[in-house]
Amino acid sequence: MANVIVIGAQWGDEGKGKVTDLLSRSADVVVRYQGGVNAGHTVVVKDRTFKLHLIPSGILYPETECIIGSGTVIDPQVLIQELDQLKALGISTDNLFISDTAHVTMPYHRLIDKASEERRGNHKIGTTGRGIGPTYADKSERIGIRILDLMDPQAIKQQLHWTVNYKNAILEKLYNLPPLDPEEVISQYLEFAERLRPHVVDCSLKIYDAIQQRRNILFEGAQGTLLDLDHGTYPYVTSSNPVAGGACVGAGVGPTMIDRVIGVAKAYTTRVGEGPFPTELGDKLGELLCDRGAEFGTTTGRRRRCGWFDAVIGRYAVRINGIDCLAITKLDVLDELDEIKVCVAYEIGEKRCQDFPSSARLFSQCRPIYKTLPGWQQSTADCRSLEDLPKQALDYLKFLAELMEVPIALVSIGASRDQTIIVEDPIHGPKRALLDANGTPVASYKAS
Ligand code: IMP
């Protein structure tokens, strides 16, 4: 294979779980590089559904090593539940490793996440309430607890006494909440520490050794490009960097080690939580997409907002991540429709706009300009090659590839592993077309 990053090209929930699960077959090591238990991957193998929040879906392959990297934030309670769940299903977790420098989500992070959302009133972010933002905030404030701190029982007792008391002042005085008992928190986390100890490694060193041995590494992004702290629809974003560049920082590898970036996008768009969403369908059609696509959050169960495919954010994701090829998921959800719209540009006031605006205020004023394509009104669930697809479905894919100027390597038409059309080998197939001096692609991009 090669060293490959898989990222979400929209607002998360693009179906990365299934794509990374498929690619994990040829990976020796799978690395999660950011986010925490706000993520949720659903993988269906035969008749069994696996819902994972922190552990990479590569764990389902016995030989594959899985690493939860330094850029993640780890809620030990949830991680231990996942370990137990996998064990109960007879899946070994001996190959799971966690970075000693990942930060730890504590009970006060969860409390502060929920309480601060309430305080925001109309300006709330719509977080998952899992303490993600407060954990990353402590990391930046340099008062975070890292996995390696947890591994030192004497030092962590002292550290947690100070931190819990400090957070109690915030809980009590700012949010009017009861304080936490430092002794209780310490004894609970010391127990967690012993459970996790066998899995703790120097993540960057382990990955470097694997690269030296020419093993294949898959870097698995959580959330999506538009939720990126620096490049997303700020402030309606998560607190980490899901973009491809985040993989280098979060895993501790240099950019020269990366061979390829695969972007995953749904054939339409969804978003959970607050924030602007120009192609959102607030009508029956939006409900139909939600129902047909089972668009409910893996982590919170919230109904996802649904809308048409937005090629402006698609092109932005290609640019920001350097996407080489795309995996388009959930094409089958569009099967029933008589016509399908794709947003090709925005209108802001009288002005046409081709590029994603940096300001959420401007973005909320963007009105989509659509191109309408005919639907195919027949099931694609049993298609296994491009030739099996109805002509209109193929035209739709070609249109997306042309708009985004990247080849489509893989199309998913259902949840199970076999409901996948491999157009080109996503790892070794064609890469993103390079532009010549006139801005013309020097290699052709295509969906077939
Ligand atoms: P947080 O990451 O819990 O702080 O939430 C911040 C924003 O990111 C909210 O809009 C969440 O709904 C969104 N978000 C976080 N994780 C995911 C995910 O895995 N999929 C989709 N949206 C997410």
Where does the pLDDT of residue 146 fall: very low under 50, low under 70, confident under 90, or very high at 90 and above?
very high
pLDDT of residue 1: 61
* Helix locations, 230-326, DSSP H: 244-251, 284-292, 311-321
Distance 11 CA to ligand 1 centre (A): 8
Lowest mean pLDDT across 108-117, 295-304, 326-335: 295-304
CB 302 within 8 A of CB 272: yes
Distance 237 CA to ligand 1 centre (A): 7
Phi, psi at 163, each rounded to 5°: -65, -45
Ligand 1, residues 32, 227, 234: which to mutate, most atoms within 8 A of Cβ? Answer: 227
Which pair of tokens denotes residue 300? 């919170």
Cα first-last separation, the chain: 22
Ligand 1, residues 114, 220, 272: which to mutate, most atoms within 8 A of Cβ? Answer: 272
**Known catalytic residues?**
13, 41
pLDDT of residue 442: 54
- Given a cut of 50, whether residue 448 has pLDDT beyond it is no
* Average model confidence (pLDDT) across the chain: 93
Report the distance separating Cα 132 and Cα 144, nearest Å.
Answer: 12
Report the distance separating Cα 306 and Cα 268, nearest Å.
Answer: 8
Atom of ligand 1 nearest to the CA of 127: 5
Distance 220 CA to ligand 1 centre (A): 16
Where does the pLDDT of residue 89 fall: very low under 50, low under 70, confident under 90, or very high at 90 and above?
confident
pLDDT of residue 437: 60
pLDDT of residue 279: 98
Protein residue closest via CA to atom 2 of ligand 1: 238
Distance 158 CA to ligand 1 centre (A): 33
Protein residue closest via CA to atom 20 of ligand 1: 12
Protein residue closest via CA to atom 15 of ligand 1: 38
Give 77-138 as a 3 state SS string: HHHHHHHHHHHHCCCCCCCEEEECCCEECCHHHHHHHHHHHHHHHHHCCCCCCCCHHHHHHH
Residues 6+ apart with CB under 8 A from 5: 219, 221, 244, 247, 258, 260, 261, 262, 321
Distance 129 CA to ligand 1 centre (A): 9
From residue 25, give the alpha-carbon distance in Å to each of 64, 197, 214. Answer: 8, 27, 16
Report the distance separating Cα 438 and Cα 182, nearest Å.
Answer: 64
Q: Report, as an integer, the average pLDDT of 350-371.
A: 95
Using alpha carbons only, give the angle 412, 416, 417 rounded to the nearest 5 degrees: 75
Protein residue closest via CA to atom 8 of ligand 1: 238
Pocket of ligand 1 (CB under 6 A): 11-13, 38-40, 125-128, 130, 132-133, 222-223, 227, 236, 238-239, 272-273
Decide: residue 319, CB within 10 A, 0-12 exposed, 13-18 middle, 19+ buried. Answer: middle
Report the distance separating Cα 61 and Cα 258, nearest Å.
Answer: 23
Report the distance separating Cα 421 and Cα 393, nearest Å.
Answer: 13
Distance 327 CA to ligand 1 centre (A): 21
Report the distance separating Cα 184 and Cα 157, nearest Å.
Answer: 11
- Given a cut of 60, whether residue 218 has pLDDT beyond it is yes
303 forms beta bridges with 296
- Given a cut of 70, whether residue 433 has pLDDT beyond it is no
Atom of ligand 1 nearest to the CA of 275: 10
Atom of ligand 1 nearest to the CA of 113: 4
Where does the pLDDT of residue 436 fall: very low under 50, low under 70, confident under 90, or very high at 90 and above?
low
